[in-house]
Chain A
């Protein structure tokens, strides 16, 4: 049987040497002196701890995964814990809670009171030493921060009284000594005394002055080398030296400043000299004299604003100078051949770019063009979260475009009529004013090209060096009646005001002048102004075609060319203006193009490349024309004429890219069928028939001559029946020749036969009724016949899917060399990252929940304890009171008994 616990304890205490025989006092003193006692105490504590552990086997919890066998791993010896003490951690937690949570609990319903904001005061995790250290650090940091705006010195920690660079602090005993020695060296007494006086703290300018005082300090230091300096002295010397150098630098800078000021003062004179004009006599000279006589401070004050002015001026000029171009070596003058070659190369490159854009490829200059285009023009769709197949092709989501509700009109051939069919004049607005998109995108390197082109347009007007000269130039070249200068208009109305009294044919001259007068090189704001002006011009060409009786196309053409040249520098403005017009068309009158629209659309065909796969202006323009051709209502000959114009624009648009437009074919064939003298058999038509008014049919096929169509035909309907018939005839010939040229364009299409067989039938029908006499119809028919037979020859079965077969997905597992089970091998970085985060989150959550639970139980325990305390207190009080009462009662009873007995005794 093992000995009892008590005995075991005693034995182990003795073994570890905690208990030992009493030491004598002498020994104790000895130990205290050598520090052995402290050492002993440490040893004792360690031993006691060990014994406690031994006697409390339940305090240590064994690790849950004991290693059963010895194992050697790459990671070294297993790091499994030797066991941990739940009791200890628990009590630690308890203690911490008592310090924080309990305090909070007690303070819960308290308001007001003092809050100790001293750093670390309420932080139980900090030892007092740490607290003090941190506080000190903070304090010094605060000092480091520059609070005062007048504090120029970097090194200067705070305001200090110094003498000769040395501080005059009270503890500077050594300094005083040194001073006494140093002054005795090489300085005259009175100087020394002066300095001493100065060093007195009454003088407020101490800081400013002190720098001067250093100057001769270095020499002093050199003066007595034999004395061995203490470290502090050396350091002070070094500091003093550096201050001295600093002062010197400042001095030099001030000198420079003075010099510069002087130069500044002379600069106006210099400018005057440069301009070749005499400087005005200085008038403020006497004033200067006065100033000199005055109190210097006052003088300085009076002079200050002037000085500021000149300084400002100077700064401005300096800035201007920095922006001046540096002269660079010029290129060798090129020979004519070289120039021609370069020009040819440039053109070739531009043409290549066009072809690339046509195929929808990225042009080398701007890599991400296609993406950009998609992004910018379908940006609205991006917000749509759900996957839409149609959106992948850039189609708008159908939800955003509600189909028009039932229109009520219903016929066999009812066409999709959009809800915007109804023309509302009220919202016709010249929306151009609203667009103040002014962006200068074109970089300077485009400038030479542009300048060249401009020269042609602003012909006769050399780029002005000064406005007056240009004005003179104009006087000679212009008709004389026109004004020479015009303001740059900010909107179309003001432009109309400007040209109010100008004859139409002189408008281009006015435009030319405005452009010359507001050339971007003349003034910084001119570029924006010209951008606006370009937009106004776009508005104006439409206005001219719409509003004037007989638009002068020479003028429109000239202005279009102006717009074109402006578009090279202000592409965004011009494009925005055109797009605004197109938007207006599509909103207000999609099925009823007015002459202005036609002019704008033909302007687009020359200004913008219509062959591009996607273009911000020409693609919507295509759509506008197609919509008009596809859905318009033909009521009279002017409608047909504008249709013919739109159709010719399509041929024009597609001259290079040769894209197919179904609406064109439909419209032209329908128009021909409806104009033909006799009606065609219905079953011959493969295209959707459109019935139009019967009176448009050509009445007699004989004695009709055709003419070239006029733009007027779009505007005015013919007056009498003869001209009407003539117009019909010419419309027929025009449509026929349109078919002919479109067959040229689309001859390469694989479905040429299908497209043009109906056209062939229609043309045959017409030419039969003319007995093959009308030349354009005949030639168109011949052309189409030739193309059809060619198409027959070249037709082959489709061979579209000659793709490389898709690779079958490999399923071979990927092996990892040096696989480490602890590491994650997720190839997907993002997934790995999220997994890691998830894991961390889970762990944290678990920990936090555990802590919260512990907190809750702690709080509950505390509450219970408090309640018990309260209860027991109450009980105690209660007992006390009871006892008091009882004793009182007892006493009273006794008294009573006594009294009773007394009275009985008496009786």
Chain B
């Protein structure tokens, strides 16, 4: 690996040769070249004969990682990797039963050195700077490859030990974003066996309670793995070329199972609220495809749903998937859904997402009218305090529901048939029969109520919103409104549609107030009106001093 050596040399010179004088730099250059040649020499000696095996120990000591792996000697690491690769390929690291005692000793000694080297690499990965980390990762993976290809029957062992160490080092690496990204792009996404064993190791790793930061790393690694393979996927790209392909590595189900285990291990861990939300957000696209048995997500989802607030909103879609596909029985689903309709909902940024789902949930015409009416009434109550962009969704949504549940239209139009009651109402007025504190949507008595709130919104300050609110008092001739068109409006969008983005010529002369007021801010000419302040802006003057 001359290139690597070269690069490390450069780095070295850059690192050291900043401030010092030229001569010193030259001197360092010399010493560096000397070290290099020395390394080369030692390496060649090892290759030449066995008696120079002690050079390995020298090289390892030159690695400069005993106390801390902050500044490793990468050239040494590379050359060591070459040495070990050669040894492994030559079979010097396998002990045969028939070998002599001293042979066995040598093999054992070599194995020990190899282990030492591996530990050093792990240390580098954990502590060094990102570029060294990546180099170490490459070297370690190369060792994995060499050992598996040249030591027969060692693969499971290697995956379970060396690779496990690698994974741990990657996850726990200091400033390991680059390292993790490198690992994911170069190895996990490329090679399917690496992915498989990554899943295995991550599942094992996440089985223990970990800190939130570690969990974040795990989630990011897992979610950046490729999409789940299709059922008829052919596994082709392997990191370690093998003749006898193990069955496990070739089955989609096995892959999925490992991924599922890894995810489950993470989900079972102590997640913070933010992580939970994040997971819920990627649930449908990144997590669920890996699950051959999505019902295993049930616990997580129901727990999340019970948390309330935005977490519940996010859990809804996953839960809905389970209910729909896996026949999950969620008692009190609608009660829970009803309780989600709180004052914050219409201001939440998950509003559109929620309405899309609510539209699905209330689409069934088999739902009892009382329940649907409760939802309608609750929504209309909320609309009274909602931003225009939410009102704009609610009203067409209601319209569609009214079309599906004609029984609910009494909420818009009710004649009191009972004469006594009518007289009573005429005399004393009435209260809203709707019980807003009742949590069970079938008992709120909403169907006896009327949607006064929407009627009030017909005089909303924005003409377009008012126009939309007016559709519930017009004849219901349209079949249904397309809800998608009304979602995702914002203040900014509305302002822009009113004002335009650039300067545009007004087509029509805007009307101007015909009377110029005598005063706007001050008490100008107040005595002319006999001291009584009236006219435009009088209210403002009453409250404010200018």
Question: Which residue numbers of A lie inside 8 Å of B, CB to CB?
Answer: 347, 350, 353, 357, 360, 366, 369, 372-373, 375-378, 380-381, 388-391, 393-398, 400-401, 403-404, 407, 410, 412-420, 431, 434-435, 437, 439, 441-442, 449, 453, 456-457, 553-554, 556-557, 560-561, 564-565, 567-568, 571-572, 574-576, 579-580, 582-583, 586, 590, 602-603, 605-609, 612-617, 619-620, 622-624, 626-627, 630-631, 644-645, 648-649, 651-655, 657-663, 665-666, 685-689, 708-711, 734, 737-738, 741, 749-755, 791-803, 806
- Contact for A803 among B391, B475, B482, CB less than 8 A: B475
Measured between beta carbons, the chain B residues less than 8 angstroms from A624 are 495
Most chain-A CB neighbours within 10 Å: which of B383, B501, B539?
A: B539
- Contact for B499 among A395, A564, A620, A626, CB less than 8 A: A620
Q: Contact check, B512 vs A564: say whether CB atoms are below 8 A apart.
A: yes
Once bound together, how far apart are the Cα atoms of A605 and B459, in whole Å? 19
- Contact for B494 among A389, A623, A795, A796, CB less than 8 A: A623
Q: Contact check, A627 vs B491: say whether CB atoms are below 8 A apart.
A: yes
Once bound together, how far apart are the Cα atoms of A366 and B511, in whole Å? 11
Q: Which chain B residues in 368-412 approach chain A with CB under 8 Å? A: 381, 383-389, 391-392, 396, 409, 411-412
Query: What are 12 of the A-B contact pairs (CB < 8 Å)?
Result: A376-B506, A397-B485, A413-B347, A561-B516, A602-B520, A630-B491, A648-B544, A709-B544, A750-B452, A795-B452, A796-B430, A801-B475
Q: Which residue of B lies closest to A603 (CB)?
A: B520
Instruction: Report B481-495 CB contacts with A as 1/0, cut-off 8 Å.
Output: 110111111111111
Q: Contact check, A709 vs B543: say whether CB atoms are below 8 A apart.
A: yes
Once bound together, how far apart are the Cα atoms of A560 and B513, in whole Å? 13
Q: If A395-B464, A395-B494, A660-B461 touch, does A798 touch B455 (CB 8 Å cutoff)?
A: yes
Measured between beta carbons, the chain B residues less than 8 angstroms from A565 are 516
Measured between beta carbons, the chain A residues less than 8 angstroms from B461 are 622, 626, 653-654, 659-661
Q: Contact check, B539 vs A373: say whether CB atoms are below 8 A apart.
A: no
Is B322 among interface residues, defined by CB-CB distance under 8 A? no
Measured between beta carbons, the chain A residues less than 8 angstroms from B543 are 644, 648, 708-709, 734, 737-738
Closest 4 CB pairs of A and B: A401-B493, A376-B507, A553-B546, A793-B429
Q: Contact check, A400 vs B545: say whether CB atoms are below 8 A apart.
A: no
Measured between beta carbons, the chain B residues less than 8 angstroms from A410 are 274, 277, 310
Q: Contact check, B508 vs A414: say whether CB atoms are below 8 A apart.
A: no
Q: Contact check, B429 vs A751: say whether CB atoms are below 8 A apart.
A: no
Once bound together, how far apart are the Cα atoms of A449 and B513, in whole Å? 13
- Contact for A572 among B389, B391, B425, B510, CB less than 8 A: B510
- Contact for B347 among A416, A665, A711, A793, CB less than 8 A: A416
Q: Which residue of A lies closest to B535 (CB)?
A: A606
Measured between beta carbons, the chain A residues less than 8 angstroms from B352 are 403
Distance between A675 CB and nearest chain B CB, rounded to angstroms: 16
Is B536 among interface residues, defined by CB-CB distance under 8 A? yes
Measured between beta carbons, the chain B residues less than 8 angstroms from A797 are 414-416, 425, 430, 450
Measured between beta carbons, the chain A residues less than 8 angstroms from B346 are 688
Once bound together, how far apart are the Cα atoms of A560 and B411, in whole Å? 48
Measured between beta carbons, the chain A residues less than 8 angstroms from B545 are 708-711
Q: Contact check, B388 vs A626: say whether CB atoms are below 8 A apart.
A: yes
Q: Which chain B residues in 146-194 approach chain A with CB under 8 Å? A: none
Q: A398-B489, A749-B459, A798-B455 are in contact. List 9 more A-B contacts (CB 8 A).
A: A396-B494, A416-B490, A434-B503, A439-B505, A567-B512, A608-B510, A662-B391, A750-B452, A750-B456
Q: Contact check, B497 vs A380: say whether CB atoms are below 8 A apart.
A: yes
Q: Which residue of A lies closest to B483 (CB)?
A: A389
- Contact for B411 among A606, A651, A798, CB less than 8 A: A798
Once bound together, how far apart are the Cα atoms of A383 and B514, in whole Å? 36
Q: If A398-B488, A583-B499, A659-B460 touch, does A607 touch B512 (CB 8 Å cutoff)?
A: yes
Q: Contact check, A609 vs B381: say whether CB atoms are below 8 A apart.
A: no
Q: Which residue of A lies closest to B546 (CB)?
A: A553
Measured between beta carbons, the chain B residues less than 8 angstroms from A412 are 309-310, 344
Q: Contact check, A710 vs B544: say whether CB atoms are below 8 A apart.
A: yes
- Contact for B509 among A572, A603, A798, CB less than 8 A: A572
Once bound together, how far apart are the Cα atoms of A150 and B409, in whole Å? 86
- Contact for B384 among A413, A631, A755, A795, CB less than 8 A: A755
Once bound together, how far apart are the Cα atoms of A397 and B464, in whole Å? 13
Measured between beta carbons, the chain A residues less than 8 angstroms from B425 are 796-797
Distance between B279 CB and nearest chain A CB, rounded to angstroms: 13
Measured between beta carbons, the chain B residues less than 8 angstroms from A366 are 508
Q: Which residue of A lies closest to B432 (CB)?
A: A753
Is B498 among interface residues, defined by CB-CB distance under 8 A? yes
Q: If A366-B508, A401-B490, A685-B343 touch, does A576 touch B503 (CB 8 Å cutoff)?
A: yes
Is B540 among interface residues, defined by CB-CB distance under 8 A? yes
Measured between beta carbons, the chain B residues less than 8 angstroms from A373 are 508
- Contact for A795 among B429, B506, B522, CB less than 8 A: B429
Measured between beta carbons, the chain A residues less than 8 angstroms from B473 are 800-801
Measured between beta carbons, the chain B residues less than 8 angstroms from A442 are 509
Q: Contact check, A623 vs B430: say whether CB atoms are below 8 A apart.
A: no
Is B2 among interface residues, defined by CB-CB distance under 8 A? no
Q: If A398-B488, A660-B461 touch, does A380 touch B512 (CB 8 Å cutoff)?
A: no
Q: Which residue of B lies closest to A346 (CB)?
A: B514
Q: If A401-B490, A806-B475 touch, does A372 touch B508 (CB 8 Å cutoff)?
A: yes
Is B457 among interface residues, defined by CB-CB distance under 8 A? yes
Q: If A797-B416, A798-B411 touch, does A665 touch B385 (CB 8 Å cutoff)?
A: yes
Distance between B313 CB and nearest chain A CB, rounded to angstroms: 11
Q: Contact check, A606 vs B463: say whether CB atoms are below 8 A apart.
A: no
Q: Contact check, B412 vs A623: say whether CB atoms are below 8 A apart.
A: no
Distance between A313 CB and nearest chain B CB, rounded to angstroms: 38
- Contact for B490 among A418, A688, A794, CB less than 8 A: A418
Q: Contact check, A798 vs B496: say whether CB atoms are below 8 A apart.
A: no
Q: Contact check, A623 vs B481: say whether CB atoms are below 8 A apart.
A: no
Once bound together, how far apart are the Cα atoms of A711 and B495, in whole Å? 27
Distance between B359 CB and nearest chain A CB, rounded to angstroms: 14
Q: Which chain B residues in 528-543 approach chain A with CB under 8 Å? A: 536-537, 539-540, 543
Q: Which residue of B lies closest to A377 (CB)?
A: B498
Measured between beta carbons, the chain A residues less than 8 angstroms from B18 are none
Once bound together, how far apart are the Cα atoms of A441 and B540, in whole Å? 33
Measured between beta carbons, the chain B residues less than 8 angstroms from A586 are 491-492, 495-496, 499
Distance between B277 CB and nearest chain A CB, rounded to angstroms: 7
Once bound together, how far apart are the Cα atoms of A576 and B309, in whole Å? 44
Distance between B340 CB and nearest chain A CB, rounded to angstroms: 13
Q: Which chain B residues in 454-471 approach chain A with CB under 8 Å? A: 455-457, 459-464, 466-468
Measured between beta carbons, the chain B residues less than 8 angstroms from A689 are 343-344
Q: Contact check, B520 vs A561: say whether CB atoms are below 8 A apart.
A: yes
Distance between A899 CB and nearest chain B CB, rounded to angstroms: 94
- Contact for A688 among B347, B472, B516, B536, CB less than 8 A: B347
Once bound together, how far apart are the Cα atoms of A345 and B104, in whole Å? 119
Measured between beta carbons, the chain B residues less than 8 angstroms from A576 are 503, 506
- Contact for A660 among B460, B486, B497, B512, CB less than 8 A: B460
Is B20 among interface residues, defined by CB-CB distance under 8 A? no
Q: Contact check, B512 vs A391: say whether CB atoms are below 8 A apart.
A: no
Q: Which chain B residues in 325-381 approach chain A with CB under 8 Å? A: 343-344, 346-349, 351-352, 381
Distance between B275 CB and nearest chain A CB, rounded to angstroms: 11
